[in-house]
Amino acid sequence: MSEGAVAPRRTKQRAAIGALMEDLADFRTAQQVHEALREAGDRVGLSTVYRTLQAMAESGEVDVIRTADGESAYRSCRIHGHHHHLVCRSCGRTVEISGPDVEDWAAEIGRQHGFRDIGHELELFGLCADCAAS
């Protein structure tokens, strides 16, 4: 394969993964994304899916959280910019949330200790109503 043939193929895979992520409502691990791609007939290697999702997370195209199992899970969020997630630890159902109180608290704690440019990551995990009922 010539050098020039590599990039378009990679771009195509990234486009396929990006399109799938747009369709998925909830956080999915690379393994789950890989399975969904296979079901859709896309033959993409698991390591490519990992790398692509990681790159998309770094560029802000998808959000990434760490699940209770310590795995990375990815989601294409409708909200751009800073926000948090409420995630069902059973089915993965996700609600995007903003927490003004948390933002104020984080800024205030930073101020008290003389820190600037405070960032934080906060995700809430629980059981959604459907999972709790079954």
Could you say which residues in the range 89-128 bind Zn ion, by CB under 5 A? Answer: 90-91, 93, 128
CB of 55 to Zn ion, least distance (A): 17
d(CA 63, CA 56): 8
Indicate the burial class of 2 (C-beta count within 10 angstroms; 0-12, 13-18, 19 or more): exposed
Query: Given the complex with Zn ion, which of 44 and 73 has the nearer CB atom?
Result: 73
**Which window, 9-17, 29-37, 39-47, 87-95, contacts Zn ion (CB under 5 A)?**
87-95
Of these, 24, 36, 46, 77, which contacts Zn ion (CB under 5 A)?
77
Confirm or reject binding of residue 63 to Zn ion (CB under 5 A).
Answer: yes
Element holding 17 (H helix, E strand):
helix 3-23
26: which 2 tokens? 């909830």
Q: Would you give the end-to-end CA distance of the chain in angstroms?
A: 53
8, 5, 33: which is closest to 19 by C-alpha? 33
Helix (H, G, I), strand (E, B) or coil at 62: coil
Query: Given the complex with Zn ion, which of 1 and 133 has the nearer CB atom?
Result: 133
CB of 18 to Zn ion, least distance (A): 15
Query: Given the complex with Zn ion, which of 14 and 84 has the nearer CB atom?
Result: 84
Site residues (vs Zn ion, CB under 5 A): 63, 77, 88, 90-91, 93, 128, 131
